[in-house]
Amino acid sequence: MNQLTVLRRVFYILGITSLLSACNETDNLVLKSPDGKIQLTVTENDNTISYTVNKENAAMILPSKLGFILEHEDSLNHFVIKGTERSSLDETWEQPWGESRYVRNHYNELKVLLQETDGKRKLNVIFRLFNDGIGYRYEFPQQESMDSLVIMSEETEFRMSGTHKAWWIPASDPYYECIATFSPINELDTVRTPLTMETAEGKYLTIHEANLTDYPKMNLTVKDSATLCASLVPWSNGVAAYIKAPFVTPWRTIVIGDKPGDLVTSYLMLNLNEPSKIKDTSWIKPGKYMGIWWEMHLGKGTWYYGPKHSATTANTKKYIDFASENGISGVLVEGWNVGWEGNWMKHGDSLDFTKPYPDFDIKAITDYAREKGVELIGHHETAAATRNYENQLDKAFAFYQQYGVHVVKTGYVNRLMDFKEAHDGQYGVRHYRKVIETAAKYQIAIDNHEPVMPTGIERTWPNLMTQEGVRGQEHNAWSPDGGNPPEHTTVIPFTRGLAGPMDFTFGTFNFANEAYPGTRVNTTLCKQLALFVVIYSPLQMASDLPENYKGIKAFDFIKDVPTDWDKTYVVDAKIGDYSVFARKDRNSSDWYVGCITDENARELDIPLSFLETEVKYIAQIYADSDDAEWKTNPTSFKYEEKTVTASDTLHVKLATSGGCAIRFIKQ
């Protein structure tokens, strides 16, 4: 059974309603979610189209306007409603990899057919209501009066029902590598999505987007204290987007949850993307990897060729040996190719993606890896010199393909692409898609660093396996602020994590850093283990040096934990304080639990009701010792085994910035 296997599908079209030629400000259209709890109302008032969203009669989105500003200050926001189309879908599809093997796609849809008041141009708005939220997009149909358009801005609004508190990062960082601020939304400037909010009533909302294709990313600005407005990332000339009809924009998404975990287990964003365009996905394989990477961050080696060069044949074979001995499927090597000399960020066009340094014998390395049952993971740091990269793209992927490389990590370390365009403007979005589609032709999966924020494209192109776009573990090695604070990983599963897999690169066991004494990994060892469950990626890195794992019992958990899941549950969470995640292995009966906390020690009760009933499990528990403390004693842990059932509750104690990682083996 593959990803496109449809297990259950019901589809029906209710058809076009009668033309609403006599629309006035009392006319409205209503759409309800399949369970009837969420209601959308579309209203035309003084030729302005707006929408509202309620859940169980409580306002979620107050009347919010729709529309565009085109070039020459041409407004596309005064319409009459000419008709509607309604449809519904209920299907279940299988992911080739993911947090949940099967995804139900169940929605009701309303397409509102609009025409400008002067009769010249047409625009449709498509709304889909799911049981956990809403998606809507604009559709520019083919028409005589509108072929190509230059969009300067979107007039899309999200008028909230109050000044909710939000976790946000500023739009000024091109890499999304910021620590979240928690504040009322009236204090926001221009911020990234996903934007997660908590209402005064205890509800949770996340605004983001789905299926970002040939269009700029949407940021959010605030006006009138509680109205969030779309802010499209522009080209360098100020234009937001160049489009040709027919055209559809990305979906604007609003996920609504009663608790934080509801946001994590919503698959609304994935469902708003198209099914896989890759028919045979058997070559796309989740797994764990190590890498010649962390040692450079610690100042022990260099990316560039010289006396301390890390990417040598001998060093790579050392990593391959350790990976093979411990069941780790991949070894990443950075700094293997010509072009890292000097100020490579200013001269990215010197990077050559098919010419290794003299001390890196790629054929000998890949032959050796194959004998050991390990694969080389390739690396393309582009310095955001996208023209140089695209000129080499086919040749570069063909080069890796001939050596059996099926995963490539790409990087774009520069604030602007080609020193001109934003990563997440239309220019960057087009480039990233070209890379993904080209890689698929050569059966290569992508781990994209310095990306555009994910929007579920991995459903359509499942070779886009994971991305960075988060302040990850590398900041713990050299960041002047001392590294990621303890609460950071209790926030990002409910913000950046809602956009898709994160290549955070945890798994560090050695907490000393001679190169940058003021920085370190700000967790306990057991929290590093628990992150393999809490933070999702189908490719997970064991980030530390091989010698730091040898002889440590805790490394068994990293060897055992899978990266592909059958089911996911958020057992308990308070954003910014703690999280408890439970996931079932896709390829066995085992379950895994990860618990993490912020700077505060805490005790938690974990009901095991997610386990299969009337079955015994052996729980392998890796927990902070009583004397563990992230600043002074981070490596202290204890291991125990006990027999448990679904009716049991485990009591765990977490040290400051601590964690607990548990494997449940079915008996």
3-state secondary structure of 75: strand
Identified catalytic residue from 209, 295, 474, 487: 474
What is the rounded average pLDDT of the residues 255-265?
Answer: 98
Largest CA distance in the chain: 79
Q: Is the pLDDT of residue 98 over 50?
A: yes
Q: Is the pLDDT of residue 9 over 60?
A: no
Angstrom CA distances, 665 to 19, 559, 612, 614, 640, stand at 61, 15, 11, 14, 14
d(CA 111, CA 440): 33
Block residue for tokens 């022990």: 300
The per-residue pLDDT for range 292-335, each reduced to its tens digit, is: 999 999 999 999 999 999 999 999 999 999 999 999 999 999 99
Q: How many helices (H) and strands (E) does the chain have?
A: 11, 38
State the pLDDT confidence band at 25, using cuts at 50, 70 and 90. very low
**Could you tell me if 335 and 302 are in contact, meaning their C-beta atoms sit under 8 angstroms apart?**
yes
155 phi-psi bin (left φ>0, alpha ψ -120 to 50, beta other):
alpha
d(CA 593, CA 18): 54
pLDDT at 145: 82
d(CA 344, CA 420): 17
Active site residue 341: no
**Could you tell me if 511 and 528 are in contact, meaning their C-beta atoms sit under 8 angstroms apart?**
no
The DSSP symbol for 455 reads -
What is the rounded average pLDDT of the residues 618-627?
Answer: 98
Q: What is the dihedral of CA 560, 289, 440, 500, to 10 degrees?
A: 70
What tokens appear for 105 in the block?
A: 């796609």
pLDDT at 275: 98
One-letter amino acid of 235: W
pLDDT at 14: 35
State the pLDDT confidence band at 28, using cuts at 50, 70 and 90. low
One-letter amino acid of 364: A
The percentage of the chain sitting over the pLDDT mark of 70, rounded to a whole number, equals 96
pLDDT at 120: 87
Q: Is the pLDDT of residue 364 over 80?
A: yes
Q: Is the pLDDT of residue 518 over 90?
A: no
State the pLDDT confidence band at 18, using cuts at 50, 70 and 90. very low
What tokens appear for 104 in the block?
A: 């139900």
**Could you tell me if 296 and 513 are in contact, meaning their C-beta atoms sit under 8 angstroms apart?**
no
pLDDT at 282: 97
What tokens appear for 211 in the block?
A: 């299926």
- pTM value is 0.95
d(CA 413, CA 419): 11
3-state secondary structure of 254: strand
**Could you tell me if 637 and 626 are in contact, meaning their C-beta atoms sit under 8 angstroms apart?**
no
The per-residue pLDDT for range 118-175, each reduced to its tens digit, is: 888 999 999 999 999 999 999 999 998 888 999 999 999 999 999 999 999 999 999 9
Domains and CATH numbers, the chain: 6-271 (2.70.98.10), 276-469 (3.20.20.70), 471-667 (3.20.20.70)
Q: Is the pLDDT of residue 193 over 70?
A: yes
State the pLDDT confidence band at 421, using cuts at 50, 70 and 90. very high
- Return all residues near 517 (Cβ < 8 A) that are at least 6 apart: none
Q: Where does residue 36 rank: exposed (0-12), middle (13-18), buried (19+ CB within 10 A)?
A: exposed
DSSP string, 266-295: --HHHHTSPPPS-S--TT---EEEEEETHH
pLDDT at 424: 98
Q: Which of 294, 255, 283 is nearest to 509 (CA)?
A: 294
What is the rounded average pLDDT of the residues 489-513?
Answer: 96
d(CA 390, CA 10): 42
The per-residue pLDDT for range 567-615, each reduced to its tens digit, is: 999 999 999 999 999 999 999 999 999 999 999 999 999 999 999 999 9
**Could you tell me if 430 and 411 are in contact, meaning their C-beta atoms sit under 8 angstroms apart?**
no
The per-residue pLDDT for range 45-97, each reduced to its tens digit, is: 999 999 999 999 999 999 999 999 999 998 999 999 999 999 999 999 999 99
d(CA 306, CA 310): 9
pLDDT at 146: 85
